[in-house]
C-alpha cells in the first residue's frame, strides 16, 4: 500500500474540521496510520516548505502555518497520493469542485484548510519530516476485502 501525508492547517483546526477531514478519508477507504496535533516548530516549517523559501509569499505562509496548531496525518491505501489529492480539491478554493474538502470548506487560497502531498516522493519526504518510523502503525481494516480486488 502507498502512503501519503496530510495536514489540516491552522484554519481547519480552528474551524473544527479535523473530524470532517478524517471522516472523508476513512469513508473513501483509506487507512489512518499516524496522527498528531502539533504547533510546528520553525525547523519543520523550513523543511516542509523548502521549495518556497525564496518566494515572496513565504514570510506570510510561515506566519500563518505557525499561527496555531496543525493536525498531521499519514494515510495508507492503493494510489493514496492521487486519491487524497482528488478528495482535497484544487489548491485555489475558487477552482475546487463542490464535494472536495477545499470546494466545500475554503474560500481563500491563503486559508485553504488542508495540505496533501503532491507526489509519492513528496509524501515520503513529508512523512519523514513529521513522523518517525516508530509512530507509523500497521493494521488491516475489516472492510479491505471489499475495497480492493
Q: Which residues are catalytic?
A: 115
Supply 27's cell numbers.
469513508
Grid coordinates 519526504 are at which residue?
Answer: 125
How is residue 41 written as a grid cell? Answer: 516548530
101: left (phi over 0), alpha (psi -120 to 50) or beta: alpha
Taking the C-alpha atoms of residue 104 and residue 86, their distance in angstroms, rounded to an integer, is 13
Write out the three cell numbers for 141: 481494516
**Where does residue 86 rank: exposed (0-12), middle (13-18), buried (19+ CB within 10 A)?**
middle
Which DSSP letter does residue 97 get?
A: P
Amino acid at each position: 500500500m502507498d502512503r501519503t501525508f496530510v495536514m489540516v492547517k491552522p484554519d481547519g483546526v480552528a474551524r473544527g474540521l479535523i473530524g470532517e477531514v478524517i471522516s472523508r478519508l476513512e469513508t473513501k477507504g483509506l487507512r489512518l496510520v499516524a496522527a498528531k496535533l502539533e504547533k510546528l516548530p520553525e525547523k519543520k516549517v523550513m523543511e516542509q516548505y523548502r521549495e518556497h523559501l525564496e518566494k515572496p509569499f513565504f514570510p506570510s505562509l510561515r506566519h500563518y502555518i505557525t499561527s496555531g496548531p496543525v493536525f498531521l496525518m499519514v494515510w495508507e491505501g492503493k494510489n493514496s497520493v492521487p486519491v487524497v489529492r482528488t478528495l482535497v480539491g484544487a489548491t485555489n478554493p475558487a477552482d475546487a469542485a463542490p464535494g472536495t474538502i477545499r470546494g466545500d470548506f475554503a474560500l481563500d487560497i491563503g486559508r485553504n484548510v488542508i495540505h496533501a502531498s503532491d507526489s509519492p516522493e513528496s509524501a515520503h519526504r513529508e512523512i519523514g519530516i513529521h513522523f518517525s518510523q516508530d509512530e507509523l502503525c500497521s493494521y488491516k481494516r475489516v472492510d479491505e476485502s471489499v475495497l480492493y480486488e
